[in-house]
Amino acid sequence: MEFTPYEYRGLVAQAWDILRGDTSHWADRFFYLEIICQYGEPVLDIGCGTGRLLLDYLSQGVAIEGVDNSPEMLALCRQKAEHLGLEVTLYEQYLERLSLPRRYRTILIPSSTLQLLTDPQMALEALRRVYAHLAPGGAVAASMMTLWQTGEPLYSEAEQTAVRPEDGALVRRVAKTWYDPSSECESTEDLYQIISADGQILAEECHRRSPATRSYTQDQARALFAQAGFNRISLYSQFTFSPAQPADRLFTVVAQ
């Protein structure tokens, strides 16, 4: 099994929070908190990144820890925690190698993180490791997406910009994606730029991944969790507790 280098580095990490902006009203934030209320603590946030969910829940008194494979994202998370006066427990590990010293009542895999594991066997191994880290009666909640459907374009391009608060520089990302129906994976090319107020490019990086992300239908997601050993599997429509409908491209798997 081949392990790929971590993806979130350099300008990707530095621009992450700036380009996302205010996430305080994102629907998953409230959904996952309800999941924690249902299944209990302690909690593990997989792919915690800079701490979007982790630090919010920690500030509310939730016993939660985080794991990510990017040392740069984890460093940013620690800086934010220190600024907020929070003590945070973070682990630098790959999901497919997950080996932590405790079990958890609730494990979160937000932001379609599981789909970054494009090799099916690697994704299966990752879920088996998640299963092994759950306390009896615990549950995992993972958001997943169907990236492409028949008849849709195979190529897309989008641009994001935001102003860097500390100096007013423009942060720009141009994202290109190519979907391959035969592999059910997409490849990506992301150009990141930091541009000064007078138009000078202060920094620039191009990040390419092929493949980058695997698409899942609802049936494929359910089968993957079942193969990993989960036997109580529910699929919800986006970040609600309504059952997923056939037309839902974004859905959340909750499995015990």
88 and 137 both lie in a single domain: yes
The tally of domains found in the chain comes to 2
Structural domain contains residue 96: yes
Same domain, 205 and 128: no
24 and 132 co-located in one domain: yes
Residues 167 and 74 in one domain: no
Tokens 């909690």 belong to 43
The reply to whether 247 falls in a domain is: yes
Does any domain span residue 2? no
Average pLDDT over residues 176-182: 98
Q: Does residue 196 share a domain with residue 133?
A: no
Give yes or no for residue 36 having a pLDDT over 90.
Answer: yes
Predicted local confidence at residue 7, as pLDDT: 86
The answer to whether residue 1 is domain-embedded is no
**Residue 7: what are its φ and ψ, rounded to 5°?**
-90, -35
pLDDT at 159 over 50: yes
Instruction: Name the pairing type of β-strands 170-180 and 185-195.
Output: antiparallel
Q: Do residues 18 and 120 both lie within one domain?
A: yes
Would you say residue 227 has pLDDT above 80? yes
Residue 172, beta-bridge partner list:
161, 193
Angle CA 9–15–19, to nearest 5: 140
Assess contact for 131 and 253: CB atoms under 8 A.
no
State which residues form the domain around 90: 11-146+216-255
List b or e across 225-241, with b for residues whose CB sees 16 or more CB atoms inside 10 angstroms. beebebeebebbebbee
Beta bridge partners of 194: 171, 203
Is residue 105 located within the same domain as residue 225? yes
Q: Which single residue is written with the structure tokens 């700036």?
A: 18
pLDDT at 1: 46
Inter-residue contact 57 to 198 (CB < 8 Å): no
Same domain, 231 and 244: yes
pLDDT surpassing 70 at residue 187: yes
Task: Looking at the structure, tell me whether residues 76 and 177 fall in a common domain.
Answer: no
What φ, ψ does residue 38 adopt, rounded to 5°? -75, -45
> What mean pLDDT value characterizes the chain?
96
Q: What's the N-to-C CA distance of the chain in angstroms? A: 27
Domain holding 105: CATH number? Answer: 3.40.50.150
Lookup: tokens for 109: 């895999």
Do residues 96 and 128 share a domain?
yes
In a domain, 50, yes or no: yes
Q: How is residue 32 written in tokens?
A: 């996952």
Which amino acid, 92?
E
Confidence of residue 17 (pLDDT cuts 50, 70, 90): very high
Average pLDDT over residues 137-160: 97
DSSP H or E stretch at residue 65 = strand 64-68
Whether 3 is covered by a domain: the verdict is: no
Residues 89, 186, single domain; the answer is no
> Left, alpha or beta for 199 (phi > 0: left; psi -120 to 50: alpha)?
left
Residues 41 and 133 in one domain: yes
Residue 5 lies in a domain: no
Residue 120 CB coordination number (10 Å): 13
Residue 110 placed within a domain: yes
Strand partners, 243: 236
pTM beyond 0.85, yes or no: yes
